[in-house]
Amino acid sequence: MFISYQFIVFLVSVLILYYLVPKKLQWIFLLIFNFVFYMYADIRYPIFLVITTAVIYTAARIIETYENVKINKSIKKKKKFIMMTALFIVLGILVCVKYTNFIIRNFNVCLIRTGHESIPFVDFIIPMGISFYTFQAIAYLLDVYWGRCKAQKNFLKFLLFMSFFPQLIQGPINRYNDMSESLYERHDFRWDRIRFGLERILWGYFKKLVIADRAGIAVSALAESRESYTGIYVIAGMIFYAVQLYADFTGGIDITIGIAESMGISMKENFIRPFFSKNIAEYWRRWHISMGTWFKDYVFYPCGISRPVKKITMFCKRHFGMVVARRVAVYISSIIVWLATGIWHGAEWRFVVWGLLNGIIILISEELAPLYHMFHKKFSGLSDTVFYRGFQIVRTCILMSCLRLFDVYGSVRNTFRQFFSIFTEFTDKKLSLQGLEGLGLLPADYIILLCGVIIMFLVSVINRNGNIREKLLNKPYVVRYIIFTGMLFAIVLFGTYGRGYDAAQFIYNRF
Amino acid sequence: MEKTSIKQSILHILQELHEDIDFENEKRLIDDKILDSFDLITLVAELGDEFEVEITAKDFVEANFNSLDCLTEMIYQLMNE
Amino acid sequence: MYTAGKIIKAGLSITVFILLIWAAQRLVQPKYADELIEGNFTAEYYNETTDHDVIIIGDCEVYENIDPIYLWEHYGITSYIRGNAQQLAWQSYYMLEDTLRYEIPKVVIYNVQALMYDEPQKEEYNRMTLDGMKWSKTKYEAIKASMCNNERMLEYIFPIFRYHSRIMNLSKEDLKYYFKRKKVANNGYYMRIDVLPVSESDVADMSWLIGDTDAEKDEIIDPWADIETEEEENEISLPEGNAEEKLGNLSMEYLDKIRNLCDENGIKLILIKAPSLAPIWYDSYDKQIMMYSRKYNLRYINFYELLEETGIDYETDTYDGGLHMNRNGADKISEYLGDVLSREYEAQDHRGDMTYDKVYEQKRQFYYEMIDAQKKEIEQYGRVKNY
């Protein structure tokens, strides 16, 4: 979606007009353009968005009217009823459009086994960004319900929060409290802000077009002819996919945040150098943060302290003792969260397996914590060495890369088959230049990929102690100019877009 | 119940959770990721047991868990509700 | 506030940026120098220093089959071919419009083959035809009329977006012809001197034609249906169907536009059909053109019917088995055209005019150097390699 001439033209015109319209009308204007964008994608999409928005808006307003009333049992019940109804409706829409066919497919498996006719699939349209805006809506509703944030009185303003166009493409899941203020504020034209935003957008495009889409060519080639690319090529696939996913996802978020920034709207960061994480739990605190915290705040905690879970804890305490009881809440909530996270990524079993595996690894490492503790007590000083940190980082990367194979190979069975071929067929195939060229990339492409990864790494490292763009600000104009222009040229020349050039296609052929 | 005795009990629970942390002076338990989400769930369960209060999602704001004093204040409020 | 220094800084930055983009764009654009030289024809026209009495428009059936140097040498006629690989009707129209921005010829010759196509065919041919055209409203309109479904105007305005990936496989050619295009054609004529007889080629089985051209002359334009199956095997999009095939409606509209444009400028229009053995030229097409030329009182020369008069021999006069003429064939067609032009259209003999003599002396030199070079290649490699 980000990658089309139309989007660039749209973006540029929105930015120019945003600062030309009267400041009082800026947010209205933005709302209109959100809908222009959304309807351009598909004329039917806004219907879903508006329904979800209206339901949540109304529920939040009603819940808030109870705020000043003395709270008693019946009001509490009413509040809860309204919250649950709204939740049911918006989640219902999400499940309907996204998961109906998944449910039917699994249902059909049972039906066919028992000799019944199968149910035909339903042809739902899936509105772009529905997972993101539904989650934003739920967070807002629960925050109002728990009294953590004030309900927005102006429906159009709330609609603006829900429909902000760049976040409909690739997220992140913004919180109303974080974003609302700057979203409705009046923004003066400030060159420094725009420049920061543009730099970020450009960086995002660089990552997406030059790195991610290039690596993506190799990944899809590896997945497509997976039978011939086993063994060491599965490891190559892990690396390519790690590069692709990181560059694509963070690049998309960079573009989103950059767009918001150039309009003076602040958005929280969604990634903090996730590949430098010491363990998987930390990785998930640094990768797709808005999703991780959403699941933590609105699933994990509420679930962990809910009455049913408490009852189970009590039961375990009585029958199995403290050791088990202390773990019950954490285990139950973890499994639920990771199931949900898996399903959220896609309506397929491989995502369910993927989510559960994540959860299981995190729980195992939690169980092993005392062991680690003992180990580090014995070899004190080891945990601070560069070597050990490097080991932890590499370990996390390898684990995550293995898990990501579910994404690459499309089904649970294929994933396991490919994964085990690493051990059984490792020596069967040699990683050769010829084999790599068979993936659809030229040697020059690999060089560009390598350079791209090195640049990403360096930027990451520089960003560690302070924003790289602010550091750039102190550099002489010429330096900044070269960097800016160089990036633009890299995107235009080395970007993977357009139809590509095949000289053979030009060869004059009889006419 | 007095605030000081509440504080003592909470400290006891916390130290059982992580023995090597100076909970009395640490003011950024959540922000500095000293307590992770697993600890929080466990902590809430134990606090609920100990003081016979119900910590609901409404109170489950990370700001309430950042220091021993915050925790004490929250429990004190809940007990007197 | 803005100081002069800031403005200069901004201006300089933007200028450098534009220059760099232009430089990169030129680098990645195909140079069409040693291979695919067909992409160079359109641009080469703008190097002309003298005007032309005859402008020839159409697809490969003009630029491979008519030899302006021959016309000069034998009739003193100045002519230029503005033809390109699969130049479709609308492209021919705009090519003429573009030419009229520089000169008004006395005669325009249009080859009718491309009228069978009624919609854009192939992005690459559009590119080779249009990229070289100088920017004007005409070019914009030409692009608009020519674009295939997934093409973008932006990619024509900034070809760098189209060709950027060539950065991965640049050749020496790209540096050598960075500033100056290589001259590849003779007044738009793409010359080949090698021979591939029809009988030695599997492109089209034309034995019926070579065998007895004299005996059954009627059949010469008749039995095209015989080779239909052959044609289907070639990966060319040809109109399917039978003898009821009609020329494209849109294309015919553009033929009207070409005719009107000529009328407005007092130019005489001649329609021709070159004697290529493929693609199919149905009887029904021919009838349609015949009716058209009668209706508007145009001259229509169908070279299929003139094989005897021109003396075209598909065993010696084609370099690719009957699709295109080599120099032998082109000169035979040119001889016929030159005769018609000078007798019936009073095309001037410019020989003896100092200005033209000087220019055409150079052109002739280039022409004969090319012949020698091709001869050398045939000796050396057994085939024409770099042309």
Average pLDDT, stretch C143-165? 90
Our answer on whether C and A touch (3+ beta-carbon pairs < 8 Å) is: yes
pLDDT recorded at residue C309 = 87
Residue B42 sits in which domain range? 3-79
In one letter, which amino acid is C67? D
B46 to chain A, minimum CA–CA distance in Å? 9
Q: Do A507 and C59 touch (CB under 8 A)?
A: no
Residues of A in contact with B41 (CB under 8 A): 300-301, 304-305, 329-330, 333
Q: Say if strands C79-83 and C54-58 run parallel, antiparallel, or are unpaired.
A: parallel
Domain boundaries, chain A: 5-189, 191-267+441-511, 278-410
Average pLDDT, stretch A89-105? 90
CA dist., res. A11 & res. A485, Å (int): 19
Q: What is the DSSP letter of A336?
A: H
Average pLDDT, stretch A453-476? 87
Residues of C in contact with A437 (CB under 8 A): none
pLDDT in tens, A275-330: 999 888 889 989 999 999 999 999 998 898 888 888 888 888 888 887 888 888 88
| C-beta pairs of B24-30 under 8 Å, 24+ apart in sequence | B24/B68, B26/B67, B26/B68, B27/B66, B27/B67, B28/B66, B28/B67, B29/B65, B29/B66, B29/B67, B30/B62, B30/B63, B30/B65, B30/B66
Q: Do A301 and B58 touch (CB under 8 A)?
A: no
Q: Do B41 and A329 touch (CB under 8 A)?
A: yes
Three-state DSSP at C272 gives strand
| Cβ atoms of residues A443 and A433 within 8 Å | yes
Residues of B in contact with A334 (CB under 8 A): 38
pLDDT recorded at residue A488 = 92
Q: Do A305 and B36 touch (CB under 8 A)?
A: no
Residue with tokens 């010759």: C109
Domain boundaries, chain C: 32-152+184-381
pLDDT recorded at residue A15 = 92
For C30, the closest of A442, A497, A506 (CB atoms) is A506
By C-alpha distance, the chain C residue nearest A493 is C164
Residues of B in contact with A281 (CB under 8 A): 36
Residues of B in contact with A304 (CB under 8 A): 40-41, 44-45
Average pLDDT of chain B is 83
Joined tokens for residue B78? 């809940």
For C164, the closest of A444, A498, A507 (CB atoms) is A498
pLDDT in tens, B33-50: 788 888 888 888 888 888
pLDDT in tens, C67-85: 999 999 999 999 999 999 8
| Cβ atoms of residues A392 and A279 within 8 Å | yes
What confidence tier does A248 reach under pLDDT thresholds 50, 70, 90? very high
Nearest CA to C384 among C196, C109, C159, C245? C196
C278 to chain A, minimum CA–CA distance in Å? 8
Average pLDDT, stretch C192-199? 86
Q: Do A506 and C86 touch (CB under 8 A)?
A: no
Joined tokens for residue C76? 């003193």
Residues of A in contact with C279 (CB under 8 A): 510-511
Residues of A in contact with C150 (CB under 8 A): 499
Our answer on whether C and B touch (3+ beta-carbon pairs < 8 Å) is: no
Q: Can you list the positions of beta strands (E) in A277-323?
A: none
Q: Do C86 and A511 touch (CB under 8 A)?
A: yes
| Cβ atoms of residues C84 and C190 within 8 Å | no
Residues of A in contact with B33 (CB under 8 A): 285
Q: Which CATH class is domain C32-152+184-381?
A: alpha beta
pLDDT recorded at residue C239 = 46
pLDDT recorded at residue A53 = 96
- Helix boundaries (H) for C114-187: 123-130, 137-146, 153-157, 160-163, 172-176
Joined tokens for residue A471? 């550091």
Q: Do A301 and B55 touch (CB under 8 A)?
A: no
pLDDT recorded at residue A505 = 64
pLDDT in tens, A205-245: 999 999 999 999 899 888 888 888 888 888 888 999 999 99
Optimal mutation site among B19, B31, B39, B41, interface A, most CBs of chain A within 10 A: B41
Q: Is the pLDDT of residue A255 over 90?
A: yes
More confident site: A477 or A508: A477
For residues C306-316, one letter each, b for 16 or more C-beta atoms within 10 angstroms of the residue's C-beta and e for the rest, the string is bbeebebbbee
pTM exceeding the 0.95 threshold for the entire prediction: no
For C124, the closest of A445, A497, A505 (CB atoms) is A505
Q: What is the length of chain A?
A: 511
pLDDT recorded at residue C236 = 40
pLDDT in tens, A102-158: 888 888 888 888 888 888 888 888 899 999 999 999 999 999 998 888 899 999 999
pLDDT in tens, C205-238: 454 344 333 333 333 333 333 333 333 333 344 4
Average pLDDT of chain A is 88
Q: Can the peptide bond before residue C279 be classed as cis, meaning omega within 30 degrees of 0?
A: yes
| Cβ atoms of residues C85 and C59 within 8 Å | yes
By C-alpha distance, the chain C residue nearest A485 is C17
Q: Domain count of chain B? A: 1
Q: Say if strands C107-111 and C79-83 run parallel, antiparallel, or are unpaired.
A: unpaired
Optimal mutation site among B18, B20, B36, B38, interface A, most CBs of chain A within 10 A: B38
For B57, the closest of A296, A305, A334 (CB atoms) is A305
The vertex-C51 CA angle with C47 and C52, nearest 5°, equals 110
Residues 6+ apart with CB under 8 A from C373: C386, C387
By C-alpha distance, the chain B residue nearest A292 is B37
What confidence tier does A348 reach under pLDDT thresholds 50, 70, 90? confident
Bridge partners of C57, per DSSP, are: C82, C110
Optimal mutation site among A330, A367, A372, A374, interface B, most CBs of chain B within 10 A: A330
Chains touching A, CB cut-off 8 Å, 3+ pairs: B, C
pLDDT in tens, C2-41: 688 888 988 999 999 999 999 999 999 988 887 778 888 9
Percentage of residues in chain C with pLDDT exceeding 70? 88
pLDDT recorded at residue C150 = 83
pLDDT recorded at residue C209 = 43
Q: Is the pLDDT of residue A509 over 70?
A: no
Residues of A in contact with C124 (CB under 8 A): 505-506
B66 to chain A, minimum CA–CA distance in Å? 16
Q: What is the DSSP letter of C182?
A: P
Q: What are phi and psi of C111, to 5 degrees?
A: -90, 130
Average pLDDT of chain C is 85
